[in-house]
Structure 1
Amino acid sequence: MAPKRAGRMSIFRKGTAELFSKKWPRLFFLTAALQAIICMVFEAYTFAKFQYGLYDMDQPQFRDNSDIQSQLKTIPTFLGLFILGFIYVVVMVWDALLMKNTIQVIGLCIANLALLVYGGLQIDQIHSAVVFLVDNSAFKDKYIWNEVQGLLIAIPCIIALTTLVLGALSWKLYQEFAWDILKHIGADYRMKKRFLHYQVYIALLKFDFFFFIGFTIQFLVVVGGKSPVEFGLTAAAIPVTIAILLCAAWFTRREWKSGMIVVMILYLGGLTYFIFKLVRIYEPGEASYYMPVRKSLTAFAVLTIILIIMTIINAMVCMFNFGHGLKQHLLSGPRPELDKDQASYSMHDVKQSQLPSRMTID
């Protein structure tokens, strides 16, 4: 086991060093990292202003008011989840560049747009929470919203600009990774198409994980306390979901059809769960529990439903591709490095008959 681990660590170090040695991957990573650092600083400052600006919430007039307690949870939940989102994007960027997954790179640009939408929702939801808490004399500073409003508005602007830059850089990465995929998979069009389906599926699994976790965190923190049973079942779903996603990737890589069928059945269960939650958010008898984060929960639920449907479709496509040779490419290491100039003059016509290496005398 030790040599195998050493080999994996060697590949890991080599891939990371290569990531930062090339211009376009380095710029893509640094752009995403810079966005994350600036926005997380803004979020952390806003969070600190809110936390230190509150009166003692253990006082009876605050502690016994369920509406105040609900709104108090809204602010740290939004800010904490947003910080988690930026960290996850940076990790996904690093992973996409290391794995040379063009589809994941494009998906990250779309995920950045989702963060942009979430940033807009954050402004509205936090403003509503602050106004409610100020009206109920929970803040020492009645003008605290004016102090943080500019930072919260700046965050979506930064994300929008970063998304444009990442979109331009993703085209350069597409051109660069196309050559790397050609070296690893070969020039067979059908094999490259199968590999593309595999990349789409793996990228979807990674995005499924974030949106499910994001929805679950909001649910547990803000509305989970109203039912201990529902809270426990929702919390238990987190490790189960992680296990399902890991198994889904492993089954696809090993081309195990039985496992894939079981996973797709579980996907349908997850789809049913999120549709149920989406309907429940707007039920007249339940709507008040979800009001503090209803817009955000709705956005996460809708995006997760769309992602699960896309994941099921791509899982079926990948399963149809089983047994056509992709497994050997996925489980084998990369082909020996061959630069473009060498490839241009080392191509041999496969139809040309091979000459003997030396002359023979009859």
Structure 2
Amino acid sequence: MIQIVGLCIYNLALLIYAAFQPGQLKKSVVSLENSLIMGKRPIIDPSKHVWPRVEPALLALIGILAVGTGMISFIAYKLHTEFAWLVYSIVHADIKMKRKVFTLQIYVALVKFDFFFLLGFLVQKIVSTGYIMTDVEFGLSIAVIFIAVLVALLAIVFARNENKAGTITIVAAYFMNVGYLVYSLIRLSGIGDFLMLAVFAGITIAMMICTIVTAVLCLVHFNKGLKVYAHSQELLAIKAGKDTDLRNTAHPISQLLPRRMTLD
């Protein structure tokens, strides 16, 4: 459910990005129309009227994203009202455990969305500023993409298996990512597409800081029963003969979780 909410936020961010896009693209088109190839002819022929032909598509994109974001948000709300009881079936009335599971779910969702926003920033950086980047900086930007994939995968694995050393390493990697983004903003300040890069980088930095905070909270919750609940769905599937539908009450999750022995 947390990931669905994250998807709504992700679509909202795309909507904001799309709202900025027409103005930035118009500047680029005008710049290309005024730029000459070898001092003879413009890169884009002004007689082609490129911007009037492109603008309607960009405006339509904003409308489509707005409608899509609204629909996804409505569906997310309906799913929440329909399946909220599944959370109770896992953690019952244990408020502390519910918070731990909720924190883990937020962390996993943030890790996934961090990757997409970081990838978007890097691609835009390479495309928009490749002409001013050194070979070392260009290679570093490409390497960060592959490192980000590895970090995202390991972050989820370490968290679900309560690997403290691994999660601490992931936190350190996220601090380095934040430092890289800040360096990129300082390095690229003043270029024509800086506004769009700054928006993407700002969102990514904010999300990574939230990821670091939730990672620390997950670390605090390690070795306190969280691992059993994190794997409860897989355990239920084995118990119920590969039936992953949590609404099947024939094998309640409570049967799979450790219980305290009580004395009469």
TM-score (norm 1): 0.61
For the 8 Å contact 1:197–1:317, the answer to whether it is kept is: yes
Aligned partners of 2:248, 2:151: CA distance in 1, in Å?
41
Aligned twin of 2:38: none
Q: Is residue 248 from structure 1 mapped to residue 152 from structure 2 by the alignment?
A: no
Aligned twin of 1:5: none
Aligned partners of 2:128, 2:26: CA distance in 1, in Å?
17
How far apart are residue 339 of structure 1 and its match?
5.3
How far apart are residue 321 of structure 1 and its match?
0.8
User: Out of 247, 260, 263, which is 2:167 matched to?
Assistant: 260
User: Out of 128, 134, 139, which is 2:44 matched to?
Assistant: 139
Q: 205-214 or 220-229: which moved more?
A: 220-229
Question: What is the SS of the residue equivalent to 2:124?
Answer: helix
Amino acid of the residue matched to residue 127 of structure 2?
A: V
Amino acid of the residue matched to residue 106 of structure 2?
A: V
How far apart are residue 334 of structure 1 and its match?
5.3
Matches within 5 A, 1:282-297: 282=189, 287=190, 290-291=191-192, 293-297=193-197
Amino acid of the residue matched to residue 115 of structure 2?
A: F
Aligned twin of 2:126: 220
User: Out of 233, 237, 243, which is 2:140 matched to?
Assistant: 233
For the 8 Å contact 1:211–1:300, the answer to whether it is kept is: yes
Q: Is residue 313 from structure 1 mapped to residue 213 from structure 2 by the alignment?
A: yes
In structure 2, relative to structure 1, the CA distance for the partners of 1:338 and 1:145 (3 Å cut) is closer
In structure 2, relative to structure 1, the CA distance for the partners of 1:255 and 1:134 (3 Å cut) is same
Question: What is the SS of the residue equivalent to 1:130?
Answer: helix
Aligned twin of 1:104: 3
User: Out of 105, 108, 122, which is 1:202 matched to?
Assistant: 108
Question: What is the SS of the residue equivalent to 1:247?
Answer: helix
In structure 2, relative to structure 1, the CA distance for the partners of 1:222 and 1:253 (3 Å cut) is same
Aligned partners of 1:161, 1:206: CA distance in 2, in Å?
24
How far apart are residue 279 of structure 1 and its match?
2.1
Q: Is residue 176 from structure 1 mapped to residue 82 from structure 2 by the alignment?
A: yes
User: Out of 172, 178, 200, which is 1:300 matched to?
Assistant: 200
Aligned partners of 2:106, 2:118: CA distance in 1, in Å?
18
| Structure 2: runs of 5 or more not aligned | 36-41, 252-264
User: Out of 74, 92, 99, which is 1:193 matched to?
Assistant: 99
TM-score (norm 2): 0.82
| Structure 1: runs of 5 or more not aligned | 1-101, 344-362
Aligned twin of 1:157: 63
For the 8 Å contact 1:184–1:334, the answer to whether it is kept is: no
Aligned partners of 1:116, 1:259: CA distance in 2, in Å?
35
Question: What is the SS of the residue equivalent to 1:255?
Answer: coil
Q: 182-191 or 106-115: which moved more?
A: 182-191
How far apart are residue 164 of structure 1 and its match?
2.0
Amino acid of the residue matched to residue 219 of structure 2?
A: M
Question: What is the SS of the residue equivalent to 1:324?
Answer: coil
Q: Is residue 323 from structure 1 mapped to residue 229 from structure 2 by the alignment?
A: no
Question: What is the SS of the residue equivalent to 2:44?
Answer: coil
The alignment of Structure 1 onto Structure 2 pairs a total of residues equal to: 235
In structure 2, relative to structure 1, the CA distance for the partners of 1:250 and 1:177 (3 Å cut) is same
Amino acid of the residue matched to residue 68 of structure 2?
A: T
Amino acid of the residue matched to residue 313 of structure 1?
A: V
What root-mean-square deviation, in Å, do the aligned CA atoms of Structure 1 and Structure 2 show?
2.2
Aligned twin of 1:50: none
Amino acid of the residue matched to residue 201 of structure 2?
A: A
CA displacement 1:121-167 (0-9 Å, x = unmatched) = 21111111111222332234431211221111111122122222222
For the 8 Å contact 1:224–1:230, the answer to whether it is kept is: no
For the 8 Å contact 2:86–2:247, the answer to whether it is kept is: no
